[in-house]
Structure 1
Amino acid sequence: MRRDSPGGTSGVDLDRLDLSDPRLYGDGEPHGVWRAMRERQPVRWQPVDGRSGFWAVASYAGAELVLTDHATFTSTRGVFLNMLGREEPASDHQFAATDPPRHGQIRRPVQRELTVRAIRRHAETLRIDVARLLAPALDGGPFDFAEATSALPMAMLGPLLGIPAEDWPRLARLVAMSVAEDDPDYQLPQGTEATLRRAHRELFGYLLNLVVAHRRHPRADLVDVLASMTVGGERLSAGAVVANCYSLLLGASAAIPHVPNVALLELIRSGGYADWAGNPQLLDSGVEEALRWTSPARHFLRCATRTTRLGDVTIAEGDAVVVWIGSANRDERVFSDPYTFDVRRTPNRHLSFGDGPHYCVGASIARLALRTFFAEMFARFSSFELAGEVEHVRSTWLGGVKRLPVVATPR
Structure 2
Amino acid sequence: MSAAPQAPAEIAAAVIDPLAYAEWDGLLDKFDVLRRDMPVARIENGDLHDPFLLVTGYDDVMRISKDNKTFLNSPKGVVFGFREGEEIVKAVTGGSPHLVNSLVALDAPIHPKYRRLTQEWFMPKNLKQLEAEIGALAKTTVDRLVEASQENGNGEADFVPLAASPYPLHVIMQILGVPEADEQRMLFLTQQMFGGQDEDLNKTGMANMTAEQITQLVIGAVADFETYFAKITEEKRANPTDDVASVIANAKVDGEYLSDRDMAGYYIIVASAGHDTTSASTSGAMMALAQDPEQFARLKVDRDLLPGIVEEAIRWTSPVQHFMRTAAEDVEVGGVSVKKGDWLMINYVAANHDDRVFENPRKFDAARSPNRHLAFGAGAHQCLGLHMARMEMKILFNELLDRIETVELAGEPKRAKSSFVGGLKTLPLRCTLSK
Identify the range of structure 1 (246-255 vs 164-173) with the bigger mean alpha-carbon deviation: 246-255
- Does residue 1:22 correspond to 2:18, yes or no? yes
Aligned to 1:110: 118
Conserved 8 A contact 1:181-1:187:
no
- Does residue 1:59 correspond to 2:75, yes or no? no
* Cα separation, partners in 2 of 1:151 and 1:109, compared to 1, 3 Å: same
Secondary structure class of the residue paired with 1:409 = strand
CA distance in 1, matches of 2:100, 2:224: 23
Secondary structure class of the residue paired with 1:35 = helix
- Does residue 1:392 correspond to 2:391, yes or no? no
Counterpart pick for 2:190 among 175, 194, 212: 175
Letter matched to residue 373 of structure 1: L
CA distance in 2, matches of 1:143, 1:24: 27
- Does residue 1:34 correspond to 2:31, yes or no? yes
CA distance in 2, matches of 1:16, 1:91: 30
Alpha-carbon offset, residue 332 of structure 1: 1.3
Superposition CA RMSD, Å: 2.1
Alpha-carbon offset, residue 243 of structure 1: 0.3
Aligned to 2:4: none
- Does residue 1:261 correspond to 2:283, yes or no? yes
Alignment of 1:9-408 (within 5 A): 14-17=8-11, 18=13, 19-28=15-24, 30-48=27-45, 49-76=47-74, 77-82=76-81, 85=86, 87=90, 88=96, 94-138=102-146, 139=150, 141-147=155-161, 148-185=163-200, 186=202, 188-189=204-205, 191=209, 192-271=214-293, 272-408=295-431
Letter matched to residue 79 of structure 1: V
Secondary structure class of the residue paired with 2:24 = coil
Alpha-carbon offset, residue 378 of structure 1: 1.4
Identify the range of structure 1 (317-326 vs 355-364) with the bigger mean alpha-carbon deviation: 317-326
CA distance in 2, matches of 1:83, 1:187: 21
Conserved 8 A contact 2:18-2:196:
no
Alpha-carbon offset, residue 371 of structure 1: 1.0
Gaps of 5+ in 1: 1-12
CA distance in 2, matches of 1:392, 1:82: 21
How much identity, in percent, do the aligned residues show?
A: 27
Conserved 8 A contact 1:44-1:56:
yes
CA distance in 1, matches of 2:19, 2:101: 33
CA distance in 2, matches of 1:38, 1:332: 10
Alpha-carbon offset, residue 348 of structure 1: 0.7
* Cα separation, partners in 2 of 1:172 and 1:350, compared to 1, 3 Å: same
With structure 2 as the length reference, what TM-score do the two structures score?
0.86
Between Structure 1 and Structure 2, how many residues are aligned?
A: 399
Conserved 8 A contact 1:149-1:260:
yes
Superimposed CA distance per residue, residues 385-411 of structure 1 (whole angstroms, 9 cap, x where no aligned partner): 222342211100112011112121111
Identify the range of structure 1 (277-286 vs 51-60) with the bigger mean alpha-carbon deviation: 277-286
Letter matched to residue 335 of structure 1: F
Superimposed CA distance per residue, residues 5-62 of structure 1 (whole angstroms, 9 cap, x where no aligned partner): xxxxxxxx84321211111112335211111111111111111443222111111011
Superimposed CA distance per residue, residues 193-221 of structure 1 (whole angstroms, 9 cap, x where no aligned partner): 34323322222222222223322332242
Gaps of 5+ in 2: 1-6, 91-95
With structure 1 as the length reference, what TM-score do the two structures score?
0.91
Identify the range of structure 1 (129-138 vs 360-369) with the bigger mean alpha-carbon deviation: 129-138
Superimposed CA distance per residue, residues 86-121 of structure 1 (whole angstroms, 9 cap, x where no aligned partner): 554659953221122321111112111111221222
